[in-house]
Amino acid sequence: MPVTARPTIGVLALQGDVREHAGALERAGARAVPVRRPEELADVDGLVLPGGESTTMSRLLVSFGLLEPLRDRLAAGMPAYGSCAGMILLARQVLDGRPDQQQLGALDIVVRRNAFGRQVDSFEADLEFTGAGGSGEPVHAVFIRAPWVEQAGAGVEVLARVPHTADAGDAADRIVAVRQGSVLATAFHPELTGDERVHRLFVGIAKDAQDAEDAQDAQDADGAEDAEDDVDLVDLEER
């Protein structure tokens, strides 16, 4: 088994709970660094996209020159975790968004922005969360002007839905946490509750991706050596 170093996880530092995410990542076993510039993005093993306002964050991604580099890294398989506005940015499509807001398209989901109702700024619920560990204890979720997932493609794993509580109303059963490969998203803010199980899940995903990359590098190096051996053989045969 490869021994994985502590992964370096960037926190997109344009808006939102950057410090809280960094703290949760460190407690979950990662090294956390802020990311505002393309050079900083190039150095991380994974990225957290915090909450905020997806329309503003989308604009800031463009003005900081991060949109295309981020799309490239996601397309190349970089692990990412988006919370709330971060989930909206990672989605393929947003409903009730602004027409000019940019989507990263790393998750095959359609999200509805501010889905919990404009009057209801905040909603809390205890969720059953697949893969959160901690002997199956529910995850206490804080939703702040949150989106929900209206459609999820076949490759998307649903990790949590809103339970049928008295105050859930229309929100009952809505999908609020998903994973597709190395990309994770929650409609809520786990960085606010001091429970770092969601961050642990993400750090685990980043470590697995690192192990897979190391194994691939080792295989490529072997392949290169074999190719060199072949060249030597050809040389000998030709002599």
Applying CB under 6 A, which residues contact ligand GLN?
51-54, 84-85, 88, 113-114, 144-145
Residues forming beta bridges with residue 93, ordered by sequence position:
110
d(CA 239, CA 230): 14
| 113 labeled binding residue | yes
Nearer to ligand GLN, 10 or 52 (CB): 52
| 144 labeled binding residue | yes
Least separation in angstroms between residue 232's CB and ligand GLN is 59
d(CA 53, CA 89): 10
Task: Give the orientation angle of helix 197-238 with respect to helix 18-27, to 10 degrees.
Answer: 70
Long-range contacts of 218-221 (CB under 8 A, 24+ apart): none
For the chain, the first-to-last Cα distance in angstroms comes to 43
| 238 labeled binding residue | no
Nearer to ligand GLN, 139 or 209 (CB): 139
Nearer to ligand GLN, 64 or 116 (CB): 116
| 54 labeled binding residue | yes
Nearer to ligand GLN, 26 or 53 (CB): 53
d(CA 191, CA 214): 30
Angle at 149 between CA 146 and CA 153, to 5 degrees: 155
Active site residues: 84, 189, 191
Least separation in angstroms between residue 50's CB and ligand GLN is 8
Least separation in angstroms between residue 176's CB and ligand GLN is 13
Least separation in angstroms between residue 118's CB and ligand GLN is 10
Q: Which residues sit in the known binding site for L-glutamine?
A: 52-54, 113, 144-145
